[in-house]
Amino acid sequence: MRRTEEDLRSTLSRIDGRGYPAYRDLRGSWMLPQFTLEVRHVQGDPFAAPSRVAVILDPDRAGFDPKTLSNASRRTAISCLLARKFAHRARATRARRTGSGRSGEVTMLEPGQVVLPNTAVLIGSDGSVEARFTIGLPAAGRRILGRQATTLLLETLPALVARTLVCGAHSPVQLNRHAEVNEDADHMRAQLGKFGLVAFIANGSLLPRRSGIDDRSLKDNRAVLFNSPPSLEVTLERLNSPPLAGMGIPRGVSLLVGGGYHGKSTVLDAVAQGVYNHRPGDGREWVVTDPTATKIQAEDGRSVAGVDISPFISTLPGGQDTTCFTTTNASGSTSQAAGIIEALEAGSRLLLIDEDTSATNFMIRDRRMQALIKGDDEPITPFIDRVQSLYRDAGASTLLVIGGSGDYLDVADLVLGMVRYEAHDLTAEARSVAAAHPTGRAVHGAPATWPWRHRCPDARSIRPWRGRKQSHIKVPSRAAVEFGNDRIDLTGIRQIALRAQARAIALSLAHLQQFMGAGMAVEDILEAMRTLLESEGLDALEPARTGDLAMPRTQEIAATLARLRTLTLTGAQS
């Protein structure tokens, strides 16, 4: 039955003053003059999680120029722009709450600085727009405030839609800029392989962030814009603007060196986040990185399930097998070794490592320590003795922040120095220093064998249920997931940009079960999940069609699976 604005007005008048459950009469679709309103879930009371609703605009009502939305990259950019504007405008309604609990609250996923496919605003190839958000239906105590609900749904909401979700709410310049920047960033990232690069940082990029909890650019006159050393400068083409010059980081082993507080970690963090596109004005719009890049760190206490860490650690006390290493309480060195192997398993072609978050004994053993502790008594082959093999034999480059060990100069293909936030190519100077001051350290460990063994997870160890509840998945923050009876710590997975990504990752874990079977290795399962998300989108993860998911990478799904403490393997490894 077609229900109209007058039907909605009449329904709200009829249930005015009744108990809160009467709001369930709103469920379903309402054909309003400007858009279709879908009430998909009604909250149980005014203090519960708000009601889930959607606004759907047909192409004519949305009014976007087909050229602006001509491909997926452009549509993603515009969807994030609309979601960002809607979320910002909606916050103003919170100051005008009408009633108890969450009454009058309107909330949408805030995309932040990154530009990712999400479920807050979906734009079809035909130009239709579907916006998903939550509304706190007004009540006094647990009695419905019908008049206030009428104002909210038939006045406040249409005004909010008109100011944020239609073409006329944005200037043509703004729309084109968002679409073109995102399309150009994708085009530039696709050129990295052609030039033999793993990352590119455009001249004029503003890399520093406001704080560890504020990802916006540092608006400070003291902030130094990035500029490439002449020897590393390359030019990438853009589809919508002139070519752009900047620093290309080549494949191989690259070091970021320099004194403390000179910008080394800032550059590394920018490269790590360059796996995502960023909104215009972020400062990192033109920082693009190999999309498989993974940041690795030591994580004391994390769990590890059947990982072959033998390229780095040959034996452990008690004779524990390091070709199938399992623990619920990894050390710094074993966790970092496992993280590297897991990253390779997930297809990473670039490892990003900062010595400040690494295990020292995993990274280096200098000449004196080698003399004191003989080779047979030291099971760890340090990263310095594997980093070249990782590139040469496993195809994984490394970008490493190092400030305390000059031994790495012997294995570096590129040495990039940060001096007062300015980049300098110090490769030639570093080689001269290495030749003039030989360390005398010996290479430790036999040649490594890559790739690794294939791990086959047991589907029965993926347990999203809790008690009688078939699915208990909660994501209190970007840094943690409640999955069944397990709590997964995500603090060591540094490239998760949004809580909405963490939620999509948690839901992905539950879906991985359907791909698990005899002989199905982790890499096969991850590829099946990637294909599912690429073909069906994020709604494949959740039939309820919520608006709080953002697209995760395969690398973060893999890293979260690896930290699931219930994870076990079948006997089909090889």
Q: Give 239's strand partners.
A: none
Amino acid at site 445? G
Question: What are φ and ψ of residue 556, in 5° steps?
Answer: -75, -35
Q: Which pLDDT belongs to residue 321? A: 87
Q: Reduced to 3 states, what is the DSSP secondary structure of residue 159?
A: helix
The region, left, alpha or beta by phi > 0 then psi within -120 to 50, assigned to residue 26 is: alpha
Dihedral sign for Cα atoms in the order 269, 186, 504, 570: negative
Q: What is the torsional sign of CA 138, 139, 145, 146? A: positive
Q: Given this model, what pLDDT does residue 89 score?
A: 95
105 with 79: CB under 8 angstroms?
Answer: no
Residue 278, φ and ψ in degrees, nearest 5:
-130, 155
Q: Specify the pLDDT at position 573.
A: 58
Quick one: three-class SS letters along 163-184?
HHCCHHHCCHHHHHHHHHHHHH
Q: Distance between CA 251 and CA 229 in Å, rounded?
A: 17
Asked if residues 552 and 505 have their Cβ atoms less than 8 Å apart, the reply is yes
Burial of 304 (0-12, 13-18, 19+ CB in 10 A): buried
Residue 486 is predicted with a pLDDT of: 96
Tell me how far apart the alpha carbons of residues 218 and 546 are, in angstroms, rounded to a whole number.
33
Q: E-strand spans in 426-555?
A: 473-477, 480-483, 486-489
pLDDT at 574: 54
pLDDT tens, residue order, the chain (574 aa): 789 999 999 999 999 999 999 999 999 999 999 999 999 999 999 999 999 999 999 999 999 999 999 999 999 999 999 999 999 999 887 656 677 888 899 999 999 999 999 999 999 999 999 999 999 999 999 999 999 999 999 999 999 999 999 999 999 999 999 999 999 999 999 999 999 999 999 999 999 999 988 999 998 777 899 999 999 999 999 999 999 999 999 999 999 999 988 999 999 999 999 999 999 999 999 999 999 999 999 999 999 999 999 999 988 877 788 999 999 999 999 999 999 999 999 999 999 999 999 999 999 998 888 888 877 778 899 999 999 999 999 999 999 999 888 999 999 999 999 999 999 999 999 999 999 999 889 898 888 887 667 899 999 999 999 998 999 999 999 999 999 999 999 999 999 999 999 999 999 999 999 999 878 999 999 999 999 999 999 999 999 999 999 999 999 999 999 999 999 999 655 5
CB of 215 within 8 A of CB of 112?
A: yes
Across the beta sheet with 480-483, what order do the strands follow?
473-477, 480-483, 486-489
Helix (H, G, I), strand (E, B) or coil at 399: strand
Output the pLDDT for position 323: 92
| 7 to 27, 168, 369: CA distances (angstroms) | 13, 28, 81
User: Among residues 218, 80, 53, which one has the least CA distance to residue 152?
Assistant: 53
pTM above 0.85, yes or no: yes
CA–CA separation, 218 and 345 (whole Å): 36
Q: What is the pLDDT of residue 378?
A: 84
Report all structural domains of the chain as residue ranges with CATH numbers, in order of start: 5-170 (no CATH), 190-452 (3.40.50.300), 459-562 (no CATH)
Bond from prior residue into 451 cis (ω within 30 degrees of 0): yes
